[in-house]
Chain A
Amino acid sequence: MASEGGHGPQTSGDYISHHLQNLQVCKAESGEWVWNQCAGNPLAINVDSMFWSVFLGLIFILMFRSVAKKTSSGKPGKLQAFVEIIVDFVDGSVKDTFHGKSRLIAPLALTIFVWVFFMNLMDLVPVDWIPLAASASGIPYMKVVPTTDVNITFGMSISVFILIIFYTIKNKGIGGFIGELTLHPIAPPLKGPGIIAAPFVIAFNFILESVALLAKPVSLSLRLFGNMFAGELIFILIALLGIWQLPLHFGWAVFHVLIVTLQAFIFMMLTIVYLSLASETH
């Protein structure tokens, strides 16, 4: 089953791998920067993901800022009502879940929710449109959904992880942070004859708790990546079907709208929950 999308005759395997390839730039061994010859180079930069994520982030910031500057309580326009709904929703979620005191959490949650939602929404643009336009202007590969790139999702989740550690140390001190890692879930016996077992209990606690701590950013990013990558791959596979793709595309796109919104919401909720756990002082 061959499919031509303006790239000439190719097999379906070629079509799929073509659409799964990022636009990469990296430094070759000779020291010069080359495009798209970076297979396996860990220092390669995915230019298309960087461009689309920054572009969508700018759209979010500029749109919300323009609404904020022109707020009118008498006759709110439709865009202002829409922005107010989103801000209210995020504010309600933060108030319900976060029991500490911080001025960073609610703007962080709003940014994460709307930015991830916009990036996921690019998955609903038909698979071939933007890459065809790009290859018409000489760009060979273009993946338009930044959240299907592991680098983007790990970038966000590692930033959240750094914030978790920062908030833990800020609210509980370094002693509290280390205590959380070594004194839970089994309290080591520090008095009496059982003190011989204390180092083993502490080591056991440390292994369990550090795995749980590291699982937070890894699961946060891979959840978003896995959902979006699988969705995009199914869109590509349906696009291989020729004329029968239209009803299948429509059905899958309707389901994918739910996934897109849900994943953005979950990323935001888990960020709030993790930061709330880091900030609670018993």
Chain B
Amino acid sequence: METVIGFTAIAVALLIGLGALGVGIGMGLLGGRFLEGAARQPELAPMLQTKMFIVVALLDAVAMIGVGIALFFAFANPFIGQLQQATLPAGG
């Protein structure tokens, strides 16, 4: 039981952390390119900003799905229920 809970905690941390890492690098690159483009042609800045926000939300999606799954495991871990089912008839 302790190993299941311990590994679940590590899995939750990896899900959230790796998602954040990837999204951080991606958004950094995106913002940098946007600033370069806006500096070269300031009249295009509003249009570029709209498109940048669209890509930001698309990047967010996968990270957020990871966060959702991680929080599900943090608060409603299905493995614990499975474990209790499995160990119950053995004399729990």
Q: Which residues of A contact B (CB under 8 A)?
A: 13, 16-17, 20, 219, 222-223, 225-227, 229-230, 233, 262-263, 265-266, 269
Q: Do A223 and B71 touch across chains, with their CB atoms under 8 A apart? A: no
Q: Do A219 and B68 touch across chains, with their CB atoms under 8 A apart? A: no
Assuming the contacts A17-B75, A233-B71, asked whether A226 and B54 have C-beta atoms less than 8 A apart, the reply is no
Q: Do B68 and A265 touch across chains, with their CB atoms under 8 A apart? A: no
Q: Do B65 and A223 touch across chains, with their CB atoms under 8 A apart? A: yes
Complex CA distance for A226 and B75, rounded to whole angstroms: 15
Of B5-13, B35-43, B56-64, B83-91, which stretch is located at the interface? B56-64
A interface, by DSSP: helix, strand, loop or mixed? helix
Q: Do B67 and A230 touch across chains, with their CB atoms under 8 A apart? A: yes
Contact of A226 among B53, B56, B67 (CB under 8 A): B67
Task: Count A-B contacts at CB 8 Å.
Answer: 42
Number of interface residues of B (CB under 8 A): 15
**What residues on B are CB-neighbors of A17 within 8 Å?**
75-76
**What residues on B are CB-neighbors of A222 within 8 Å?**
61, 64-65, 68
Contact of A230 among B53, B68, B76 (CB under 8 A): B68
Q: Do B65 and A266 touch across chains, with their CB atoms under 8 A apart? A: no
**What residues on A are CB-neighbors of B61 within 8 Å?**
219, 222-223, 226
Q: Do A269 and B54 touch across chains, with their CB atoms under 8 A apart? A: yes
**What residues on A are CB-neighbors of B60 within 8 Å?**
223, 227
Q: Do A230 and B57 touch across chains, with their CB atoms under 8 A apart? A: no
**What residues on B are CB-neighbors of A226 within 8 Å?**
61, 64-68
The 6 closest A-B pairs by CB, nearest first: A226-B64, A223-B61, A266-B57, A226-B68, A230-B67, A222-B65
Min C-beta distance of A272 to chain B, whole Å: 11
Nearest-CB residue, chain B, relative to A40 = B81
Q: Which of A225, A226, A262, A265 has the most CB of B within 10 A?
A: A226
Complex CA distance for A230 and B61, rounded to whole angstroms: 12
Min C-beta distance of B47 to chain A, whole Å: 9
**What residues on A are CB-neighbors of B56 within 8 Å?**
262
Min C-beta distance of A44 to chain B, whole Å: 15
